[in-house]
Amino acid sequence: MSYQVNLLNFEGPLDLLLNLIERSELEITQISLAQVTQQYLDYLGQIPNLDPLELNQFIELAAKLIHIKSQALLPTVDNPEFENDTAELAEQLSRYQHYQKASRYLQDLLSSGQRSWSGPVRASKPNIETVAPQNLDLNILSQAFRSAISKLPPITDNAQLMPKITIEAMIERIQDYLNRGVQSHLSQLLDEAKNRTEVLVLFLGLLELVKSGQIRVRQPHPFDDIELEAVYSTTKP
Amino acid sequence: MKTSVEITLEAILFMAGQSVALNRLATAVELDPASTAKALAKLQSNLSSRGIRLAQSGDQYSLVTAPSVASEVENFIGNQQRTELSKAALETLAIIAYRQPVTKTDIDAVRGVSSEQTLKNLLLRGLITESGRAKVTGKPVLYSTSLKFLEILGLSHAGQLPKIEQDSGEQS
């Protein structure tokens, strides 16, 4: 009795449950709900990747069904709250069944092709599918492209074209600088930097020199200019 | 005298070429809305066997083509406009159509799932409208079907929807 049904065809847990009950040609009662519980759980086990929120709704209903079935199997304890829950579910399911019927009527009406239009010639709304314009061909398109490009400003950012300074070169520059006078300030070096790239490389070069112990950096007071000092003020060998 | 009111209404609705609200029609024929509505009901019944019918949804009125000649009209327009609706859309529409006006919470309670996306779609397609707010906490939006809904089903008003046996007894 295993049906190859794609769970995703069901609009939700109620849809599935109703389907199971109707398929068994049962009325909606506590008994029938208990009877289809196993089938419902079986289907639940087959669900492919469902959105957690949707899955949650299926599981919520599963819990109710299991409860109903357990009461049907062990009717020893009188539980008025349970009676209410069961009646509620049965009623909800009936109501859903009622509107499923109504939606089938609507579908029949739709399929019958009987419909009206309001307003004169405006009745035909333009088709939403895109239609290629008539006067378009490859030449026109490439001309348009060329003229669009010609309207673009030329690339004037020369920084793109300048040779970049390497860290090694920058390190040499720093050392030369420091060798001219034993102590210098960072601000002087920054003033010499021609662009943003040089500032960055200057910073990297300084860090490298500090790391290798070739220069010392000092800041006498907070926010003072930073002093740089070569550890050996002699020229390179 | 009554006859000329109907004639006037018919002419105005034709010229409007789209739906007109009851109040505007009432002003046009210089009557109060209630009397205008009565005249419109008469007009609707007068037209019920013609090629043009009077459709009414809420306070909106519109002249529409008779559904029985839909295929001929369609041929004339030269435009196949088959409406496809998903199962979820149909369920939601059915609930709204038979219980309008109704809130999203009511709809969700019947379907057992969230109808938020479906409602958005139906609003976009112009098949339902927001028709006010419920007088309960939070004042949630109420939904009703639109004139377009009637048009695609070939109905003149919601009362023409087929009755379904086994009414759950909760008609609002």
DSSP A96-113: HHHHHHHHHHHHHHHHTT
Contact between residue A214 and residue A230 where contact means Cβ atoms under 8 Å apart: yes
| pLDDT, position B166 | 54
User: A-chain residues within 8 Å CB-CB of B124?
Assistant: none
Spatial distance between the Cα atoms of B157 and A88, rounded to a whole number of angstroms: 33
Spatial distance between the Cα atoms of A183 and A227, rounded to a whole number of angstroms: 7
Q: Do A118 and B87 touch (CB under 8 A)?
A: no
Tell me: the pLDDT tens digits for A206-218?
Answer: 888 888 888 888 8
- Report whether pLDDT(A231) > 80: no
Highest-confidence range of A118-127, A198-207, B163-172, by mean pLDDT?
A198-207
The predicted model gives B81-85 an average pLDDT of 73
Contact between residue A21 and residue A33 where contact means Cβ atoms under 8 Å apart: yes
Task: Please tell me which residue, B84 or B33, carries the higher pLDDT value.
Answer: B33
Q: How confident is the model at residue A132 (pLDDT cuts 50, 70, 90)?
A: low
| pLDDT, position A3 | 45
The shortest CB-CB distance from B113 to any of A12, A99, A102 is to A12
Tell me: the pLDDT tens digits for A153-171?
Answer: 676 665 555 567 788 888 8
Highest-confidence range of A27-36, A75-84, B125-134, by mean pLDDT?
B125-134
Sheet of A215-218: strand order equals: A183-185, A227-230, A215-218
Spatial distance between the Cα atoms of B119 and B128, rounded to a whole number of angstroms: 8
| pLDDT, position A124 | 42
- Report whether pLDDT(B75) > 80: yes
- Give the minimum alpha-carbon distance from A52 to chain B in angstroms, rounded to a whole number: 13
Contact between residue B88 and residue A99 where contact means Cβ atoms under 8 Å apart: no
Sheet of B102-103: strand order equals: B102-103, B141-145, B128-133
The predicted model gives A59-69 an average pLDDT of 87
User: Residue A33 in 3-state DSSP?
Assistant: helix
Task: Please tell me which residue, B84 or B1, carries the higher pLDDT value.
Answer: B84
- Report whether pLDDT(B56) > 90: yes
- Top residue of A116, A124, A131 to mutate, by most chain B CBs within 10 Å, is A116
- Report whether pLDDT(B79) > 60: yes
User: A-chain residues within 8 Å CB-CB of B85?
Assistant: 106-107, 110
Q: Number of CB pairs < 8 Å for A and B?
A: 129
Contact between residue A28 and residue A89 where contact means Cβ atoms under 8 Å apart: no
- Top residue of A64, A118, A128 to mutate, by most chain B CBs within 10 Å, is A118
The predicted model gives B39-62 an average pLDDT of 93
For B73, the token pair is 């009209």
Spatial distance between the Cα atoms of B7 and B9, rounded to a whole number of angstroms: 5
Q: Do B62 and A118 touch (CB under 8 A)?
A: yes
